[in-house]
Structure 1
Amino acid sequence: MEKSKRTLKSLVIVASVGALFTIAPAKAEDATATAAYKDIQATLGTVPDMFKTLPDVAVAGAWAEIKGVQLNPNTALNGKTKELMGLAVASQIPCQYCIYFHTLAAKANGASDEEIKEAIAMAAIVRHWSTILNGSQVDLATFKKQTDDLFAAVKAKSQ
């Protein structure tokens, strides 16, 4: 009987803690929309309307993601590569807003017209073969084995 009282007491404590979290959600320090808008303004010189379409609770997180990866010069990928990737993905989604933005951002990061065309062509090639492989229901294990064999042969040939 004593064990069931302890179990019941534990359940009540857990339920109380859970209820507390629903009443008072955790907030990151200085993660307010106002603070994020000030930082966006300071960083970009303006606050694009795209941020204003978000609910206030999402602004700081969205800005942190963009600032931490896309605008961060200290990541593994340089700005040009990131923007060419963004353009390639945007071309496949397709998103006219993203295509416009990432084309200009790629150029601002030093991408040539030829690099922009090549990024879009690569996106098209990947989409084409994804359609063929998935639509044909090619066996994934067989595909992986053939791919591993192909790269092993290329590596052996280059040595």
Structure 2
Amino acid sequence: MVSTETRTEIEGMLGRVPSWIEGLSDPAADHSWGIVRDLELSETSLQPRDKALIGVGVAAALQCQYCTHFHTEQAKVDGASDEQIMEAVNLASTIRYFSTVLHGAQVDYNEFVDETAGIVEHVKSQQGAAGGAAADD
């Protein structure tokens, strides 16, 4: 159960204390709210809409209907379109799909890291060439 001070803060930010917060054990309750407040709901280096879209994708990949619902609503409040929300879900499903393939095929991690470094180097050189071509025009 959250402290009286935290309860007041939550009510001020959300208009009520969500019932799931009551399920938090005493040692973790105030701290857990602090994580939600500071990382999800406060100003950080990520834009609120982007954080909400990440939340939608992760929640969908985890198959958590509660989190999927909350983060979808949060994304809408923060200006995300239905198309952007579905793109976040599709991106999360693609990552989960290929993660399953990589793990199931038991791809060597060190080889994967080396391969990725080569891909990144190529993409950066292509971007540099495209930027140089645009500057020449």
Q: Which blocks of at least 5 consecutive residues in structure 2 are unaligned?
A: 129-137
Whether 2:6 is the aligned partner of 1:36: answer yes
More displaced 10-residue stretch of structure 1: 49-58 or 114-123: 49-58
Counterpart of 2:81 (choices 92, 112, 120) is 112
Counterpart of 1:132 (choices 76, 91, 101) is 101
> CA-to-partner distance for each residue in 1:69-91, whole Å, 9 max, x for gaps?
11112x11011111111111111
* Residue of structure 1 equivalent to 2:50: 81
> CA-to-partner distance for each residue in 1:18-71, whole Å, 9 max, x for gaps?
xxxxxxxxxxxxxx6121111111121111111111123322111111111111
Report the alpha carbon displacement of residue 136 of structure 1 after superposing the two structures with TM: 0.4
Whether 2:41 is the aligned partner of 1:63: answer no
> CA-to-partner distance for each residue in 1:82-117, whole Å, 9 max, x for gaps?
111111111111101111111000000010011001
Structure 1: which 4+ aligned runs deviate by more than 4 Å?
Answer: none
Q: Partners of 1:67 and 1:37 in 2: how far apart?
A: 12
- The amino acid that maps onto 2:11 is Q
Instruction: Give identity over the alignment, percent.
Output: 38
Summarize the alignment of residues 43-62 of structure 1 with structure 2, pairs less than 5 Å apart: 43-62=13-32
Q: Which blocks of at least 5 consecutive residues in structure 1 are unaligned?
A: 1-31
- The amino acid that maps onto 2:90 is A
With the length of structure 2 as denominator, give the TM-score of the two structures.
0.88
| RMSD between superposed Cα atoms in Å | 1.1
- The amino acid that maps onto 2:18 is P
- The amino acid that maps onto 1:107 is K
Which of 1 and 2 has higher RCO (CA within 8 Å, sep 6+)?
2
